[in-house]
Structure 1
Amino acid sequence: MFILSLTYLKGNDEADKHMEPHMAWVKEGYAKGWFLASGRKVPRTGGVIFAHGDKSELEAYVAADPFTIHGVAAYDVQEITLTTIVDGLERLKAE
């Protein structure tokens, strides 16, 4: 499993200009079956995506995010190994 943590490099006004294509990119990540959950950081300084799949494919996909292309945000892709999971979320552990 991976945590894709994005941090805004530009202000929220600039992020908002690219939000629609970014959200289309996010929805495509869900359609591919890679993304499991996502949302904004609080305070709004970026976002987080929980994902699974091949690391090199995810990194290539992150490079195609409109936020990345337009320099709005930078990503940190962190792989994690889950060892304990609440009942009902076993899918997070399976690869």
Structure 2
Amino acid sequence: MYVVFLNYVRPIEEVEVLLAAHIEWLNRYFEAGFFIAAGRKDPRTGGMLLVRDIERERLDAMLAEDPFVAVAQYEVTKVNVTRAAEAFAGLQGV
């Protein structure tokens, strides 16, 4: 699986303008089964995505479709979950 951190590089006012389109983008990939979890950072300097294990090129193409590409940089890390608390056991091997 991948952990993707979004870091805003533009003022929050510019982020807000793109928020509805970003949420539509998130919804599309949640419904398609690619995204596992998403949320805002606290303080609000960006966000985080958990993404199923897919080809990296496919992930890069998906991220390029995100409207937030105009206001954020993406840090992508591949993670191989080998242990998880019982409530998160489903994340192993994802």
Q: Normalising to structure 1: TM-score of the pair?
A: 0.91
After the TM superposition, list the runs of 4 or more consecutive aligned residues in structure 1 that deviate by more than 6 angstroms: none
Q: CA–CA distance in 2 between the matches of 1:53 and 1:61?
A: 13
Q: CA–CA distance in 1 between the matches of 2:16 and 2:45?
A: 12
Using the TM superposition, name which of 16-25 and 71-80 deviates more. Answer: 71-80
Q: Percent identity?
A: 31
1:58 and 2:59 aligned: yes
Aligned residues: 93
| Letter matched to residue 89 of structure 1 | F
- Measured after TM superposition, the shift of residue 44 of structure 1 is 0.3
Q: CA–CA distance in 2 between the matches of 1:93 and 1:57?
A: 21
Q: CA–CA distance in 2 between the matches of 1:59 and 1:31?
A: 18
Q: CA–CA distance in 2 between the matches of 1:56 and 1:80?
A: 16
Ranges in structure 1 where 5+ consecutive residues have no aligned partner: none
Q: CA–CA distance in 1 between the matches of 2:6 and 2:44?
A: 11
- Measured after TM superposition, the shift of residue 94 of structure 1 is 2.4
Q: Normalising to structure 2: TM-score of the pair?
A: 0.92
Preserved CA contact (<8 Å) 1:59 1:77? no
**Residue aligned with 1:53, SS:** coil
**Residue aligned with 1:27, SS:** helix
- Measured after TM superposition, the shift of residue 10 of structure 1 is 0.4
Ranges in structure 2 where 5+ consecutive residues have no aligned partner: none
Report the counterpart of residue 94 of structure 1 in structure 2.
93
- Measured after TM superposition, the shift of residue 29 of structure 1 is 1.3
Aligned residues: CA RMSD? 1.1
Query: 1:1-95 to 2 correspondence within 5 Å?
Result: 1-54=1-54, 55-68=56-69, 71-95=70-94
| Letter matched to residue 91 of structure 1 | G
